[in-house]
Structure 1
Amino acid sequence: MAIGDVFAVDGCPDLHYVDTGMYDTEEYGAVYIVDAEEPALVDTGIGTRYENILDALDEVGVARDDLAYVLPTHVHLDHAGGAGYLAEACPNATVLTHEIGVPHLVDPSRLVAGTKAAVESQWQFYAEPKPVPEDRIEGLEDGDEVDLGDHTLDVHHAPGHAPHQVMFHDRTDDVLFTADAAGIWIPSVERIRQTSPPANFDLETCLDDVETVQDIEPETLCFGHFGPRRYEEPLMDGYARVLEEWVAAVREKRAELDDDEAVIDYFVAETGMATVWSERKARAEERLNVRGVLAFLDEQ
């Protein structure tokens, strides 16, 4: 696998994904192409290298004028930062995202400020997002359907990771685009990992979202981070345990050290992901996730 490569999803002839090279890291960020009668992109990456997504459309055989929908699962900029660029390049596409997120893609200024505060030094990898024209974007809510002609996507609100997050379930292929609700799938080591960024992470609601995935029980999970995997019940039971144990570990270390920066430094130093993503990305990811749990504990 390499940044910009396009892959078919096994068992789904109309579904492909591209490695966006997010944070200059392979196998971290995926954008999906649903080659339906009304073609759609699920997620958009961080804006950087958005041309790779357009090249992937060309490779799959979807003309840019024919793209019908751009579907950010939520408006965190690692999933929606390319929406304005793709809307500009694909003039007939409508952007659909949860109604809470719509104003933030029309005017990304608050989203940019919040992202800079959350991702800190990782901002260097982002492109400044382009606003999505107001007449090119519509809001979604739980229970809506996105009609792609020969495919229908059911919209499931999944607010644990962010209040504006949805998952899309493609009934035809029985595929669930999980956003961040099912965690981060790491194919190279075949394990699932927590994602708990500030400022909206909520453990109990995340566990509710895991139950939503289990209720849908799709054949395939398509992770934004990273790639497809066949659904198995133990995988989601395991992710619930990962979340609970992760929050408990941060809570315990905070009680021991009584210094939040020391807590962050501890988990950054203990990261086991440096050989998977690179030391720079692994440390930044650890810092982000610890800060999200500390904020959640403060709310509690």
Structure 2
Amino acid sequence: MEPGEYAPVPGCTDLYYLDTGMYGTANYGSVYLLDADRPAVIDTGIGNNREYLFDALDDLGMRPDWILPTHVHLDHAGGAGFLAERYPDATVTMHESAVEHLVDPTRLVAGTKAAVGDQWSFYVEPEPIDEGRIEPLSGGETLDLGDRELDVHHAPGHAPHQVVFHDRGDDVVFTADAAGIYVPALDAIRQTSPPSRFDLHGCQADADTIRELDPRYLCFGHFGPKEFRDEDLAEYKRTLAEWVEAVRQKREELGDDDAVIQYFADHAPDDHVEVWGERKAREEEKMNTRGVLGYLDYMETQGKTV
């Protein structure tokens, strides 16, 4: 697909995914449009290309009752305020620990700028949302969409405010970043370990949560849907562990965090550069490395080993 285009999710009922043109990378930003009796938008993109989302909703004749960002990171929730403004009767959900960041995004923006570095040029300032519009989630809820339901599962490894949604009718899990980033061109799942609250063991537990649901399809927040294979998530757990160990060893070798970050940026895998482009691939390596370094620091303060 090209940015702004949408397509049905194979094997699913009235479910579409939209390419938001995120970071200038084809298919990187996936927003899901669920044309239920009470329509829902799952994830919202950064917000900079919100006209793509608005046009797709108009084309499908959808007026969402639910706006469902999986977590508050701006590549998933940055468009929520713009969408809420356009659809004033829609209910917005967010994990209870992050509702405040939708109401007042000031600290969220500052944290995002620190996390993404030069990538901030791809972003826009998010619109705040009135607290009365937001339904806080904790996990364990079931959202009523009329002709179907979405079960909410807390998945705090990637971020403490992350949830995933399970549509039992079509047996689809909307994974947020809990299953990593699936890259169709490589047929591989890559790690995502952003600051400031990445948790290796939590991420591995989240992958197990999805494996236990045993769905037919995974709807990734990046690069769209794929059929579920248990071995994919088993491999992802190993990928995460190997990635954290690689950063730990490089820190031990170099003894300087800035040098560690620059090392992984300079050695971004060639296939990542091919998929994302050089700028995005190297910035992604920097962000993921910073996340792991923060995790290693936290584990040290807790007297724990990785």
TM-score category (smaller protein): over 0.9
After TM superposition, list the pairs within 5 Å mapping 1:257-268 onto structure 2: 257-268=254-265
Residue 180, structure 1, aligned to residue 187, structure 2: no
Residue 288, structure 1, aligned to residue 287, structure 2: yes
Residue 267 (structure 1) shift? 1.1
After TM superposition, list the pairs within 5 Å mapping 1:1-300 onto structure 2: 1-62=1-62, 66-272=63-269, 273-300=272-299
Per-residue CA distance 1:228-266 (angstroms, 9 max, x = gap): 010011001010011001001111111111111111111
Per-residue CA distance 1:261-295 (angstroms, 9 max, x = gap): 11111111111211111101101101000010011
Partner of 2:302: none
**1:100 is paired with a residue of what secondary structure?**
helix
Amino acid at match of 1:122: Q
Q: Kindly tell me the number of residue pairs found equivalent between the two proteins.
A: 297
Per-residue CA distance 1:93-116 (angstroms, 9 max, x = gap): 110111111111011111111111
RMSD of equivalent CA atoms = 0.9
Per-residue CA distance 1:113-168 (angstroms, 9 max, x = gap): 11111111111111110001122111011100110011100000000011100000
Amino acid at match of 2:268: T
Mapped partners of 1:187, 1:51: distance in 2:
26
Per the normalisation by structure 2, the TM-score is 0.95
Q: Structure 1 residue runs of 4+, over 6 Å off? A: none
Residue 60 (structure 1) shift? 2.3
Amino acid at match of 2:54: L
Per-residue CA distance 1:35-87 (angstroms, 9 max, x = gap): 1000000001111011111111122231xxx3100000000111101111000
Mapped partners of 1:253, 1:141: distance in 2:
37
Amino acid at match of 2:251: R
Mapped partners of 2:148, 2:207: distance in 1:
24
**2:67 is paired with a residue of what secondary structure?**
strand
Amino acid at match of 2:7: F
Amino acid at match of 1:263: V
Amino acid at match of 2:223: F
Residue 26 (structure 1) shift? 1.2
Per the normalisation by structure 1, the TM-score is 0.97
Amino acid at match of 1:148: L
**2:14 is paired with a residue of what secondary structure?**
strand
Amino acid at match of 2:146: G
Mapped partners of 1:226, 1:97: distance in 2:
22
Percent sequence identity is: 60
Mapped partners of 1:233, 1:92: distance in 2:
39
Mapped partners of 1:28, 1:248: distance in 2:
27
